[in-house]
Amino acid sequence: MGNGTSRLYSALAKTLNSSAASQHPEYLVSPDSEHLEPIDPKELLEECRAVLHTRPPRFQRDFVDLRTDCPSSHPPIRVMQWNILAQALGEGKDNFVQCPVEALKWEERKCLILEEILAYQPDILCLQEVDHYFDTFQPLLSRLGYQGTFFPKPWSPCLDVEHNNGPDGCALFFLQNRFKLVNSANIRLTAMTLKTNQVAIAQTLECKESSRQFCIAVTHLKARTGWERFRSAQGCDLLQNLQNITQGAKIPLIVCGDFNAEPTEEVYKHFASSSLNLNSAYKLLSADGQSEPPYTTWKIRTSGECRHTLDYIWYSKHALSVKSALDLLTEEQIGPNRLPSFNYPSDHLSLVCDFSFNEEPDGLL
């Protein structure tokens, strides 16, 4: 392995606290990616696995082929959606009573996160609860060819945790060799005209192979039972913003997020019935093509066991097709202590889909 790559990863293999920051300031800024030494993803994956050698191996997950009869002359667009669990919340607030403290140590947990990303090699990566953007994900992913954007929550709960690493927020990365950024919007969501603590990023990208444009958005809505109307209002605000950005669905749209809402909630129904003509990609894994997965998060807290479907990838069904989707972990794989664990770094499962443009998009009727 080249000395530059080893030096980079070795520096990032340690928790970058304030003292580490003074020793390695070049890794904590957000430099121009054109001046950074590229990293071979296979070599970085090997380094991650070396750090994780005492842990159980990664769970095996398979892609389910969902190909329709619509051929595409261009390679599919792989999109990953994932709430990666903010480090400050995992260690300080979320009370995962069945998860050993050692499983949450950042030095190893970040390697599990990187291993998951490197294993599926998404073209576009949509993340929530990112509180190590500048010291970990931006430096490493930029050297893998990604361009990143980070939008923190205005009042992140991470800031209440001692020895935190700054606020958490949403992050969006895309491969620069496949896409060109046309425009970007950071959206602070409102509810009943009030600005809230939840955010979204929406970017219009142009495919370099086909010159087709589309919008990709990432969000994380308000959590907790009792906030259903609040989430519904946030969803309506996001839909209105996306309506404007996509020029009334003229530009195809993909929306990734932790909506903190089951399919029975109003915010889900707003997205399902929107004039943007959206469908939820993971419904296609069900036998009837109409049912969401039984869970996308499964954890045990002091209040009890929580098994919910909260995470979604929405897409313009008139303009895009889902070629394949990554199957979820089984209950047996997850295990009796649920998530996170030594095997899996977050309490939420990653969702990964391959999309292609419909050659002749149907008109919106």
Q: What pLDDT tens digit does each residue of the chain (365 aa) get?
A: 445 545 444 544 543 343 333 333 333 334 455 567 899 999 999 999 999 999 999 889 999 999 776 667 789 999 999 999 999 999 987 788 899 999 999 999 999 999 999 999 999 999 999 999 999 999 999 999 999 999 999 999 999 999 999 999 999 999 999 999 999 999 999 998 999 999 999 999 999 999 999 999 999 999 999 999 999 999 999 999 999 999 999 999 999 999 999 999 999 999 999 999 999 999 999 999 999 999 999 999 988 999 999 999 999 999 999 999 999 999 999 999 999 999 999 999 999 999 999 986 454 43
CA separation for the pair 349, 83 (Å, rounded): 8
Q: Write down the CATH superfamily of domain 3-357.
A: Endonuclease/exonuclease/phosphatase (3.60.10.10)
Task: Output the CA torsion 338→217→277→310 (10° steps).
Answer: 20
pLDDT of residue 5: 46
Taking the CA of residue 53 as centre, how many other CA atoms within 13 Å lie in the half-sphere pointing to its CB? 4
Q: Is 54 helix (H, G, I), strand (E, B) or coil?
A: coil
Amino acid, res. 91: E
Task: Output the CA torsion 285→289→294→296 (10° steps).
Answer: 50
Q: What are phi and psi of 346, to 5 degrees?
A: -130, 160
pLDDT digits (tens, 9 = 90+) for 159-197: 999 999 999 999 999 999 999 999 999 999 999 899 999
CA separation for the pair 55, 342 (Å, rounded): 6
Longest dimension (CA), the chain: 60
CA separation for the pair 66, 80 (Å, rounded): 17
CA separation for the pair 268, 280 (Å, rounded): 10
**DSSP class per residue in 180-235:** EEEEEEEEEEEETTEEEEEEEEEEEEEETTT--EEEEEEEEPPPSTT-HHHHHHHH
pLDDT of residue 73: 78
Amino acid, res. 89: L
Amino acid, res. 99: C
CB neighbours of 330 closer than 8 A, spacing ≥ 6? Answer: none
Ramachandran sector of residue 95 (left: φ over 0; alpha: ψ -120 to 50; beta: rest): left
pLDDT of residue 14: 40
Is residue 64 within 8 Å of residue 51, measured between CB atoms?
no
Closest to 63 in 3D by CA, of 121, 114, 110 = 121
Q: What pairing do the DSSP bridges indicate for beta strands 297-301 and 304-308?
A: antiparallel
pLDDT of residue 26: 37
Indicate the domain borders of the chain.
3-357
DSSP H helical ranges for 246-304: 266-272
